[in-house]
Amino acid sequence: MQKTLASLGTSALLSYGWVSNVSYITCVLIATASVMQTTGLSPLAPVDGQLAKFGIVYGGLFVIQNVIRPLRFAASVAISPFFDKLVSFFQNRLGVAFGICVFLVWILVY
C-alpha cells in the first residue's frame, strides 16, 4: 500500500486536500441548515444558545468525519488520477502546475 501511495505523489496530496475540504464544508453547511431548520434562526443570531447549538451539531459531524477518515482517504486515492491529469494540464499550459492546483483545490474550495 505504501508503494501505491508513494507512486501517487502530489496528486494524492491534492486529492486528499480536496476531499477533506469538501467534507468539512459539507459538515458546516449541514450543521447550519440543521440549526436554522430547528430554531428558525441563523447560528450567528444574537440569541443565547444559537452558536452553542451549532457547535453541538458540528461537533457530532466532526466526530463522524474522523471515524470515516479511511473512507475519505480511499476516495482521495480513487480520484487522484484526475488530479494528476489536472496537474499535467496546468504544467503543459502554464508551466507552474502544482502551485496553481493547490490554489484552486485548497484555497478556492474553502
Task: Give pLDDT, residue 31.
Answer: 93
Whether the predicted pLDDT of 6 surpasses 70: no
Taking residues 29-56, report their average pLDDT.
86
- Comparing 11-20, 30-39, 97-106, the range with the smallest average pLDDT is 97-106
Predicted TM-score of the model (pTM): 0.70
Question: Rounded distance, CA 109 to CA 104, Å?
Answer: 7
H-helix or E-strand containing 33?
helix 10-39
Task: Give pLDDT, residue 97.
Answer: 62
Three cell numbers, residue 92: 503543459
Q: What is the DSSP letter of 42?
A: -
Task: Give pLDDT, residue 1.
Answer: 47
Taking residues 2-24, report their average pLDDT.
74
